Amino acid sequence: MSERGNVAARPASRGGGVATWVDHHLYSVVSALGRVFRKPWAALLTIAVMALALALPLGLWLVLGNLERLAGNVERAREISVFLKQDVDAARAAALADELRARGNIASVEHRTPAQGIESLRAEAGLGDIIDAIGGDNPLPHVLVVSPAGDELRVASSLAQLPEAQLVQHDAQWRQRLDTWLRFGGRVAWVLAALLGLGALLVVGNTVRLDIQSRREEIGVLQLLGATDGFIRRPFLYLGAWYGLAAGALATALLAAVGIALQEPLAALASSYGSQFALAGIDLRWALLVLGGATLLGWFGAGLVTGHFLRQTRPTET
Q: Which amino acid would we find at residue 81?
A: S
223 has pLDDT over 80: no
Q: How confident is the model at residue 71 (pLDDT cuts 50, 70, 90)?
A: low
Which tens digits make up the pLDDT trace of 229-272?
777 788 888 888 999 999 999 999 998 888 888 778 777 776 76
pTM over 0.85: no
8 has pLDDT over 60: no
**Weakest mean pLDDT among 1-15, 40-54, 120-134:** 1-15
Q: Measuring CA to CA, which residue among 294, 307, 196 is closest to residue 242?
A: 294
Average confidence score pLDDT of the chain: 77
9 has pLDDT over 50: no
Which tens digits make up the pLDDT trace of 16-53?
567 777 777 787 788 788 888 888 888 898 899 989 98
13 has pLDDT over 50: no
The predicted pLDDT at position 250 comes to 93
Indicate the fold that domain 86-163 takes in CATH.
Answer: Alpha-Beta Plaits (3.30.70)
* Exposure class string for 281-293: b at 16+ Cβ within 10 A, else e: eeeeebbeebbeb
Which tens digits make up the pLDDT trace of 170-185?
766 666 777 788 788 8
Q: What is the mean pLDDT of residues 129-133?
A: 57
Q: Which residues pair with 84 in a beta bridge?
A: 165
- Domain extents in the chain: 2-73+177-313, 86-163
Instruction: Please return the burial class of 105, using the count of CB atoms within 10 Å of its CB with bins 0-12, 13-18 and 19+.
Output: middle
Name which residue leads in pLDDT, 11 or 101: 101
Which tens digits make up the pLDDT trace of 194-211?
888 888 888 888 888 887
- Distance in angstroms (rounded) separating the CA atoms of residues 277 and 73: 13
> How many other C-beta atoms lie within 10 A of the C-beta of residue 158?
16
What secondary structure, in 3-state letters, does the chain show?
CHHHHHHHHCCCCCCCHHHHHHHHHHHHHHHHHHHHHHCHHHHHHHHHHHHHHHHHHHHHHHHHHHHHHHHCCHHHHCCEEEEECCCCCHHHHHHHHHHHHCCCCEEEEEEECHHHHHHHHHHHCCCHHHHHHHCCCCCCCCEEEEEECCCHHHHHHHHHCCCCEEEEEECHHHHHHHHHHHHHHHHHHHHHHHHHHHHHHHHHHHHHHHHHHHCHHHHHHHHHCCCCHHHHHHHHHHHHHHHHHHHHHHHHHHHHHHHHHHHHHHHHHHHHCCCCCCCCCCCHHHHHHHHHHHHHHHHHHHHHHHHHHHHHHCCCCC
- Distance in angstroms (rounded) separating the CA atoms of residues 231 and 5: 8
The predicted pLDDT at position 4 comes to 43
The predicted pLDDT at position 12 comes to 42
Q: Given its phi and psi angles, is residue 261 left (phi above 0), alpha (psi -120 to 50 degrees) or beta?
A: alpha
> How many other C-beta atoms lie within 10 A of the C-beta of residue 147?
16
